[in-house]
Amino acid sequence: MRKFPEPALALVDTMRIAAAADPARAISFGGAPGSNSHQATMSFAPEALPLPCYGFEDAIEAVHSGAAGAAMIPIDNSEAGRVSDIHFLLPESGLHIVAEQFMPITHCLMGIGPGPFEGAWSHPHALAQSRRFLAERGIAGLSYADTAGAAALVAERGEPRMAAIAPPLAAELYGLRIVEREVEDAHDNTTRFVVLAKDPLDPSSLAGEDTMTTFIFEVKNVPAALYKALGCFATNGVNMTKLESYQQGASFAATMFYADIEGAPGDARVDAALEELAFQVRELRLLGSYRRARKRG
């Protein structure tokens, strides 16, 4: 059943009531209060009204329904890679990327007591970020919908040999004991989030700023298809900072690519590169242009 554990419900209800009173200020996110997405939302827009949703799809739907003006969605992590299914969710969402947010990630091992623990609940990405930590202690990683929700679940069940891996705020909110801090395997652990909204930013409003543009494209099923596509950016001097492939459907005949480039439409080089790309590929869809939050490289 898609519902938050009991210890989180009062906080969720309070936040939902506040967001319903002023939905234009609300930013939806997937996860219980205290999750990384919650903290990224407040770091990005301290004046916003955080709207907790059970999952990413629910956070996206909140924007479509008008319950929130925007959604904060994690897209990839420096240790665990891209967030599962996000490349399918973004194009299918019908929303546009209007901002990005980078946030250092730190997690704690927490429980109702001091341990030892047999298992630890958390989001699969948090488990992946702490795989060595868990293996060294013989703790089994158990997948849950989000980190803070996992902490609320441990508080609800009251099992002394079960723990959660979650942000320190989750322990505070749900009355858990922090047993070990900074359990992530890499201490430069960082997640990139994107902010989604119904309407895209007009690229002309970004003139003179450092910008990024995100898009997806499907190559033709011909020799050197990707080489030709990437050549559009090389010959026009446009820097591509991210390129990831994924399959759509079961034909395995062609590949979809998710890409980030520096710059935005309105820049002559970007315009030329995208025009050439549209000729070379089967499909091209812009997901948004927005201010660059961090210099690449």
41 catalytic per annotation: no
Question: How far apart are the C-alpha atoms of 99 and 197, rounded to whole Å?
Answer: 9
Q: Can you tell me whether residue 232 is helix, strand or coil? A: helix
User: CA torsion sign, 132 to 135 to 137 to 142?
Assistant: positive
Question: Among 29, 133, 193, 215, which one carries the catalytic annotation?
Answer: 193
Question: How far apart are the C-alpha atoms of 189 and 52, rounded to whole Å?
Answer: 24
CB 141 within 8 A of CB 120: yes
Question: Among 56, 117, 147, 191, which one carries the catalytic annotation?
Answer: 191
Q: Which amino acid is at 109?
A: L
Q: Which of 33, 31, 191, 57 is nearest to 125 (CA)?
A: 191
193 catalytic per annotation: yes
Question: How far apart are the C-alpha atoms of 262 and 241, rounded to whole Å?
Answer: 7
- Tokens 């948090």, located at residue: 126
Give the pair of three-digit tokens for residue 193: 């989030």
Point out the residues that are catalytic.
191, 193
